[in-house]
């Protein structure tokens, strides 16, 4: 029966928005209305110059600060550039570790940015498995990272894939009802790594008593292997608020115990969703992930050391890069390589299947390393109902205020909102999500052009609008790492204001 199963299609994305008119958001309409009222009041009193000044100020505020051009307002672009210039002048864009660093002694080799003030807490869960949680002290959160080993849709029947997708949806839905959970991420980390470790392992496995001819044949066969092999790792990270689990800034024993008791449950959910045999990562594995993110070329050295039994377990406090430079804007430099990050601005414009993201997730020879991070922000049931109701009303508003007949896109938005409202009434859950992609390449012009063209090609196949992170490269780079950095925890802008503006 599974052979006759068809690929499930997914879509019905809802983009949070407030009612608007003439292409202006609600905030822009309010500012325009207030400015127009004051302008008319001045004209009624024959105050022509003040009226002109108010009108010009209103136009400037709306056009520069509230109307988005290519995904950003002009005011945001200016403030971002100004912020980068100020950070560069203060020396905050160049991070150096080791003996030449000006950091405090306890931070000499730590990870930079939002991960500077993060410690590990280790123990064993209910299944007796060791784990290491990441305690984000600055935002009072704790993250658990699972290492996953999915088989991939190409190796399974379509019916099995459909079942796993349904279970993955159940896992995402469970995020909205779990106490204290702030967010979750799925990170797909792919690389084209050296095959030296594999070749050496094959040669070392040859019996000393094997015939000389057999040794020569095997050695010749190993010599035909490609210099690099494709590697793909998947990580699932869940982040909880310390206070919501009964902890405080100084005492996290209660939240740690509670999270440890929940790890087996999440293991089962992820396993059913096709994650293979997920297991919590320990400190040495977390450090290994960080090392390879900063130094992709380190894979060969680590593989050979592990083969020869000389691998030393790296501590989290010493997993930082030798240097990290984000003074250039879009491209950041770290330990002899370069990286850039882009982010989704609008969900995919078409329905997708379980295989739509295969090219984006898979290894690519144009990159030394590539990370695709899907960030989930759970929405509780009450807020979800209000959000969908507001979106349905917004769709009605746009259809009634549009000049001319409503388009098929307007009708589709209304249908999606109504359908989602019905699904919520039947027990479905709502989760906000975003996609970020970080690619690492050699620090030269040709590699940059190749990486740029390739990542644009990958994104365009998904019909998913995006933009590059131009002035916060370090923050974007570390957000795509599977260490539980949730962007909204570092923003002072309330969620409701996003829709209004």
Answer whether residue 500 shows pLDDT above 50: no
Mean pLDDT of 86-99: 77
For the chain, the average pLDDT equals 83
Mean pLDDT of 38-51: 88
User: How far apart (Å, rounded) are the C-alpha atoms in residues 408 and 401?
Assistant: 15
pLDDT tens for residues 416-439?
A: 778 877 878 777 788 888 999 999
Write down the pTM of the prediction: 0.83
Answer whether residue 475 shows pLDDT above 80: yes
pLDDT of residue 223: 78
Cβ–Cβ under 8 Å, residues 466 and 342: yes
User: How far apart (Å, rounded) are the C-alpha atoms in residues 495 and 183?
Assistant: 14
Cβ–Cβ under 8 Å, residues 449 and 99: no
pLDDT of residue 21: 60
Cβ–Cβ under 8 Å, residues 219 and 210: no
Mean pLDDT of 324-347: 90
pLDDT tens for residues 241-291?
A: 999 998 887 789 999 999 999 999 999 999 998 888 899 999 999 999 999
> Structure tokens of 88?
């560069």
pLDDT of residue 501: 45
3-class DSSP state of 459: helix
Q: Which residues contact 188 (CB under 8 A, 6 or more apart)?
A: 232, 233, 234, 361, 371, 372
Mean pLDDT of 123-140: 92
What's 161-219 look like in SS3? HHHHHHHHHHHHHHHCCCCCEEEEEEEEEEEEEECHHHHHHHHHCCCCCCCHHHHHHHH
pLDDT of residue 454: 94
pLDDT of residue 381: 75
- Band the pLDDT of 184: cuts 50, 70, 90: very high
pLDDT of residue 50: 87
Considering Cα of 24, then 30, then 33, then 38, what sign does the dihedral take? negative
> Structure tokens of 58?
């209103």
pLDDT of residue 185: 96
Cβ–Cβ under 8 Å, residues 423 and 430: no
Mean pLDDT of 101-118: 81
Q: How far is CA 194 from the centre of its chain?
A: 26
């Amino acid at each position: 029966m599974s052979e006759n199963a068809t690929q499930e299609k997914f879509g019905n994305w809802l983009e949070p928005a407030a009612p608007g008119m003439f292409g202006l958001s609600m905030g822009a309409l309010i500012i325009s209305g207030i400015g127009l009222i004051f302008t008319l009041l001045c004209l009624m009193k024959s105050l022509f110059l003040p009226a002109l000044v108010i009108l010009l100020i209103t136009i400037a505020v709306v056009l520069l600060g509230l109307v988005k051009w290519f995904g950003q307002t002009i005011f945001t672009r200016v403030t971002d550039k100004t912020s980068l210039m100020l950070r560069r002048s203060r020396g905050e864009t160049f991070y150096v570790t080791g003996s030449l660093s000006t950091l405090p002694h306890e931070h000499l080799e730590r990870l930079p940015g939002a991960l500077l003030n993060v410690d590990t807490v280790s123990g064993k869960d209910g299944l007796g498995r060791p784990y290491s949680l990441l305690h984000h002290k600055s935002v009072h959160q704790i993250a658990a990272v699972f290492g996953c080993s999915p088989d991939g849709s190409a190796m399974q029947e379509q019916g099995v894939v459909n079942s796993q997708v349904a279970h993955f949806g159940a896992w995402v839905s469970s995020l909205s009802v779990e106490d204290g959970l702030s967010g979750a991420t799925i990170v797909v980390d792919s690389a084209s790594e050296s095959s030296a470790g594999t070749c050496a392992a094959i040669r070392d496995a040859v019996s000393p008593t094997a015939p000389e001819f057999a040794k020569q044949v095997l050695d010749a066969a190993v010599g035909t292997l490609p210099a690099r092999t494709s590697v793909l790792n998947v990580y699932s990270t869940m982040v909880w608020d310390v206070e919501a689990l009964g902890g405080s800034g100084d005492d996290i024993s209660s939240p740690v115990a509670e999270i440890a008791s929940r790890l087996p449950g999440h293991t089962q959910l992820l396993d059913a969703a096709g994650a293979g045999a997920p297991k919590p990562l320990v400190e040495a594995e977390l450090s290994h992930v960080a090392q390879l993110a900063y130094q992709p070329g380190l894979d060969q050295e680590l593989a050979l050391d592990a083969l020869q039994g000389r691998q030393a377990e790296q501590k989290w406090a010493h997993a930082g890069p030798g240097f990290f430079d984000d003074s250039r804007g879009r491209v950041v430099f770290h330990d002899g390589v370069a990286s850039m990050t882009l982010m989704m601005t609008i969900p995919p414009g078409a329905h997708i299947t379980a295989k739509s993201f295969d090219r984006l997730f898979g290894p690519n020879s144009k990159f030394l390393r590539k990370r695709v991070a899907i960030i989930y922000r759970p929405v509780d049931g009450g807020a979800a109902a209000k959000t969908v109701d507001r979106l349905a009303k917004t769709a009605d508003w746009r259809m009634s205020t549009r000049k001319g007949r409503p388009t098929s896109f307007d009708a589709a938005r209304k249908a999606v909102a109504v359908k989602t409202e019905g699904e919520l009434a039947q027990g479905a859950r709502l989760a906000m999500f975003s996609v970020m992609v970080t690619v690492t390449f050699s620090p030269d012009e040709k590699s940059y052009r190749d990486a740029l063209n390739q990542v644009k090609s990958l994104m365009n196949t998904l019909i998913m609008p995006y933009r590059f992170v131009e002035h916060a490269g370090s923050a974007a780079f570390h957000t795509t790492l599977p260490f539980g950095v949730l962007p909204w925890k570092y923003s002072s802008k309330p969620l409701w204001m996003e829709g209004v503006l």
